[in-house]
Amino acid sequence: MSIQLNQNDSDSDKSELDRFDQLMSDDVICISDSSDFSDDDAQPSICNDLPQPELPFPDGTVKLTRMSGENKSNDCVRLTDVVQPDKLRKALLTTFVLDMEWLKPHFRAHTKLVIVQSYNPNVEPQGVLQSSDGLTTIVNPEFAGVKYPIMHSKIMLLFYDTYVRFVASSANLIEIDWTVMQNAVFIQDIRFDGSQIFECTQFGSTLAQALRDLSVPDPVVKQLDHMDMSRVRVHVVTSVPTSRARTTYHASAYGMARLAQITRQMRRESAVLREINPAETDVYCYGSSMGKLSSAYLRDFYCCALGMTWGEISRHTRHTFSSQDAERCVKVGFHTNDQGNSNKFGPISRMCIKCKMDMFTGTDFPSSSLHKIEPAVPRTLVHAKLVLMRTGAERRHGWMYLGSHNFTPGAWGWLNRQQTSLTYVNNYEFGVVIPDVCYETVFGRDSITWCGAKIPLPFKLAWTRYKETDVPCFSD
């Protein structure tokens, strides 16, 4: 495939409380009206009352990637199951790692693809690169001023005749992420009509902003106007490198600051979460990479996960919320070194679990928060990135995050105490928050349900604290 560059691309407590109040505001980034980009010439008109087409997943579902050697299951999917190549017309894909040789056979030869990838800006140019046959477009997004350029988002928009499949996941477009590493995938099928413009929703506007942040060509973004997103109930949370010029005024819309906005909104809309008691609330954070954590960072993340300021939490618990409290309330799940060594897929799987020894041995590392997870498939490693908020006396209620964010400051950002922006973020990331989930154990088996439907997990809900002899699965 011949690719050519297209140049038309283009610590006072009061101040911290004020900062949290600001980041939890209700501002939503809006987008302007758009028209269709490609193969439909009909004049759009605003309409929301037409009959709904039959959709495979009209209300959203969570699946796990089907690992090699595992039996077929309704809970698991292969990439082909997600893509449905025989019906697919065109697709937008984003990925941190791309194996084009493996990916292309999953699509018909004439399917139009737009792929946003991570790249090294010191070697490759920013911009839009077009294949000679015009069927494949590669997008290298903006990385101006980023010390460690990482485009880590995993999004799919798959276009069929009458609907678009929206996918948010933790899986790269490489074979091992769909065969030997367990990843989580959110799928929702959304009605599409190129002759109609549907009412803009909060989900639609934040998704459009996320795509524009990734330098997705505007004709592709305009397709969102023709998607009826009225049944989408999940919330988009993104991260964007905040050193970029065009994010200066939107810093509160990214990373943990965006999570805080979402959780604040969910508390207003949910009777269960409205009266949340921090003394009865835990946050479980898992990722395949673990960054430089500290007790103070856990405290910040816990506040954002609850949609509450430190002062609000202190008033509920009747004592000053401390970093030690955060270590108790935030459970950080990560594979142990023994699990890495004994996984049945060997080094090819272990190499995807990232933790540096000097981060773990640092004086500020919150070791007491580390927990060992037990994968749902024995002797495998989990590549999914999940946050589970559980509240109530029995920790039955809460929400769930699924997406590309590892539990690292580079992904979620950290509160910036020196600059005017609310957070500093290094990576591009993307995920969804699923509201109002219920955690249960039925006949000894863990269960999460959302709107009555089961959500499969890549690990058991019961995490165990690291033993003295346990160490994280270190990367070389």
Q: Evaluate whether 427 touches 415 at the Cβ level (below 8 Å).
A: no
Which string of DSSP letters, residue by residue, matches 219-261? Answer: HHHGGGGGEE-TT---EEEEE--TTSGGGGGGGGGSHHHHHHH
Dist CA 191 CA 129 (whole Å): 30
Dist CA 62 CA 454 (whole Å): 8
> What pLDDT was estimated at residue 423?
65
Burial of residue 197 (number of CB atoms within 10 Å: 0-12, 13-18, 19+) = buried
The helix/strand/coil state of 213 is: helix
For residue 294, the Cα-to-chain-centroid distance in whole angstroms is 22
Cβ neighbour number for residue 211 with a 10 Å cutoff: 25
Dist CA 302 CA 148 (whole Å): 26
Dist CA 307 CA 285 (whole Å): 16
Which string of DSSP letters, residue by residue, matches 421-463? Answer: SSEE--SBEEEEEEEEEEEEEETTEEEEEETTEEE--SB-S--
The helix/strand/coil state of 183 is: coil
User: Strand 61-65 vs strand 76-77: parallel, antiparallel, or unpaired?
Assistant: parallel
Q: Evaluate whether 175 touches 102 at the Cβ level (below 8 Å).
A: yes
> What pLDDT was estimated at residue 113?
97
- What does pTM read for this prediction? 0.89
Task: List the beta bridge partners of residue 448.
Answer: 439, 455
> What pLDDT was estimated at residue 243?
63
- Regions of the chain with pLDDT less than 70: 1-53, 243-252, 416-423, 443-444, 476
**Residue 269, token pair as written in the block:** 């809309």
Cβ neighbour number for residue 19 with a 10 Å cutoff: 18
Cβ neighbour number for residue 459 with a 10 Å cutoff: 22
> Which H helix or E strand runs over 182?
strand 181-182
The residues, any chain, with a CB within 8 Å of residue 17's CB and separated by 6 or more, are 309, 310, 311
User: Using one digit for the tens of pLDDT, what is the confidence trace for 271-284?
Assistant: 888 888 998 999 99
Burial of residue 40 (number of CB atoms within 10 Å: 0-12, 13-18, 19+) = middle
For residue 61, the Cα-to-chain-centroid distance in whole angstroms is 15
> What pLDDT was estimated at residue 38?
52
**Residues 446, 266, 246: CA angle, nearest 5 degrees:** 115
Cβ neighbour number for residue 173 with a 10 Å cutoff: 22
User: Using one digit for the tens of pLDDT, what is the confidence trace for 292-315?
Assistant: 999 999 999 999 999 998 888 888
Residue pointed to by tokens 């209620």: 397
Dist CA 474 CA 392 (whole Å): 35
Helix axes 295-306, 310-317, angle to 10 degrees: 80
Residue pointed to by tokens 């028209």: 35
> Which H helix or E strand runs over 282?
strand 281-286
Amino acid at 275: E
Report the first-to-last Cα separation within the chain, whole angstroms: 34
Amino acid at 167: V
CA dihedral 168, 173, 174, 177 (to 10 degrees): 0
Cβ neighbour number for residue 71 with a 10 Å cutoff: 6
